[in-house]
Structure 1
Amino acid sequence: MNRRLLQTLVTAAFAAAVPLTALAQDAKVADELAKYREALADGNPADLLEVRGEALWAEKRGPKNASLEQCDLGLGPGKLEGAYAALPKYFKDTGKVMDVESRLVHCMVTLQGFKAEDVTKNWYSKPGTESDIEALVTFIGARSNGMKIAVPATHPEEAKMAKMGEYIFYRRSGPQDFSCAICHGQEGKRIRLQELGNLTTKEGAGTAMKTWPSYRVSQGAVWTMQRRLIDCMRQARWPEPNYLADSIVALETFLQKNATGTVMETPGIKR
């Protein structure tokens, strides 16, 4: 056989084999990750935090010695079933679009008499310091378990926030000229063996949003959506926004709008 022809055939065979090998490796990785997630799901530490959040919700606290049982999260005072799944939304009493965390802080200030700076001082847990907000959000989120995300953003202010969130999602910024869309705007992306969902689709956004708040095994703590998005911005080397910033609520509105119709499964558990 002609030596050049033989070399061509060998090269072609190798080139054909590489994608097959890569596909096999991808399938193996995906299978192992699925087994890992299944093992983690057997006993979620977030369940304990949910119980603590339930107690905090009913406990009379603060300068006004009041509970949060009359807190209106969008469905009426004290109504929690499905409230998380319908946030962020516009609240007439504040004239703002609010997510669960900004609304919860509002209730802690207005109903219980706390100062905003005091209740947000420990908005996320640290070694040796528990977060009341994380516990309350876990409890509230769980009351939407099994219900569909419903954030159509039809109110003009909600539509404006969704549009702002979309702009932030695609905007390249920071020293690395990075955007959310670089990781989460296409199918088939992965980083450190972790699949990166396409958050511009219902399926991708739904998979991402339905399980938050989630217990993160690597951190040994429950993370809320505010913390997750702020940390994403940190990893992208963007200037970190303040807790409860409008930019974070806008991103949540955009993502929840994309995820609308997806059934909630929270609290979740992540690596």
Structure 2
Amino acid sequence: MRNRSLWIGFLLALGLGLSIALTQQQEVDPYKEAERQRELFRQTAGILPGELYAAQGEELFGQKRGSKNVSLEACDFGLGPGKLEGALTQLPRYFADTRRVEDLETRIVSCMVNLQGFKPEEIKRDDVKALTAFVASKSSEMPINVVPKTSQEIAMYNLGRELWYHRAGDRDMNCAICHDSYAGGKVRLSPVRSPRQGLSNEWPAYRFEADKLYTLQDRIAFCYESVSIHPPDHYSEPMIALSIYMLTEATKGKNKFTELPGFTR
């Protein structure tokens, strides 16, 4: 674990240098630049930062931890205990054991609490992100298949749609103003996609400009913060609701996940 943490630190430092170089360029196509930076990481280090986060998550997944001293190998992500292949493709979904709709991050936290015996306040955000990267990697390049069926899932989807169009903050903004109205265009040089165009299909991803791993919940929080609105708490219903809304729409658009963890600007 320590060696991989050192590798992550090295790559993040490398990414910072790349980011500084990028800021000196003008009118850079974000997608082309991401591909260039991705290839540079491959050539320089032989591995992508997202892969190291996933490897760290794999170690955490198999470790016996918490007050119950057990691993997460019995965690059920919807396909049965310990079954990870394609699990992300059908999340968020309703889980009878917790009686709530959960996305991948929330489900990881639930298993850490219920299986391993962690108290919520003991759970480290970085651990959740690494575990998210590992589990998500098992659904890399698979079709997204989020279809609300239960009453709880439908209610959460409806809440997500309501939040998507709800205007708030000093700028009177909502998600749709950018991602629906400008879909197919660009904002600050970055291409804009709608949920049905696969907006949510690359997360979790390493953002080389930020030099860290972002989950979908992190990306939602970033959007809120970028328009000066305080974001919902991690693992909260608004986070899950927006996730299920976007991923349901991505399913309607017949989108696949990218290579996970992703690599983006």
TM-score (norm 1): 0.81
SS class of match (1:97)? strand
**Which residue in 2 is equivalent to 1:92?**
96
Residue identity in the other structure for 2:256: V
Residue identity in the other structure for 2:32: K
CA contact (8 A) 1:210 1:262 kept: yes
* Cα separation, 2, equivalents of 1:183 and 1:163: 20
Residue identity in the other structure for 2:154: A
CA contact (8 A) 1:183 1:189 kept: no
SS class of match (1:41)? helix
Residue identity in the other structure for 1:256: L
**Which residue in 2 is equivalent to 1:153?**
148
CA contact (8 A) 2:67 2:117 kept: yes
Query: How far is the alpha carbon of 1:35 from its aligned partner?
Result: 2.8
> Would you say 1:224 and 2:215 are equivalent positions?
yes
**Which residue in 1 is equivalent to 2:111?**
107
CA deviation string 1:93-137 (max 9, x = no partner): 111100011110000011111101110xx41xxxxxxx1111100
Percent identity reads 38
Query: How far is the alpha carbon of 1:193 from its aligned partner?
Result: 0.6
> Would you say 1:172 and 2:176 are equivalent positions?
no
> Would you say 1:268 and 2:262 are equivalent positions?
yes
**Which residue in 1 is equivalent to 2:32?**
35
Query: How far is the alpha carbon of 1:244 from its aligned partner?
Result: 0.8
Residue identity in the other structure for 2:166: R
CA contact (8 A) 2:205 2:261 kept: yes
Which among 129, 133, 143 is matched to residue 138 of structure 1?
133
Q: Which runs of 5+ in 1 are unaligned?
A: 1-27, 124-130
**Which residue in 2 is equivalent to 1:192?**
188
CA deviation string 1:65-114 (max 9, x = no partner): 10000001111110101111110000111111000111100000111111
Residue identity in the other structure for 1:259: A
TM-score (norm 2): 0.82
* Cα separation, 2, equivalents of 1:244 and 1:190: 30
SS class of match (2:158)? helix
Larger Rg: 1
SS class of match (2:66)? coil
Which among 211, 230, 248 is matched to residue 257 of structure 1?
248
Residue identity in the other structure for 1:37: A
Query: How far is the alpha carbon of 1:173 from its aligned partner?
Result: 0.7
* Cα separation, 2, equivalents of 1:219 and 1:146: 24
Q: Which runs of 5+ in 2 are unaligned?
A: 1-25, 43-47
Aligned residues: 229
Q: Which deviates more from structure 2 when the two are superposed, residues 88-97 or residues 33-42?
A: 33-42
SS class of match (1:222)? strand
Which among 41, 50, 57 is matched to residue 54 of structure 2?
50
Query: How far is the alpha carbon of 1:218 from its aligned partner?
Result: 1.1
* Cα separation, 2, equivalents of 1:242 and 1:263: 27
CA contact (8 A) 1:90 1:98 kept: yes
Query: How far is the alpha carbon of 1:162 from its aligned partner?
Result: 0.7
SS class of match (1:104)? helix
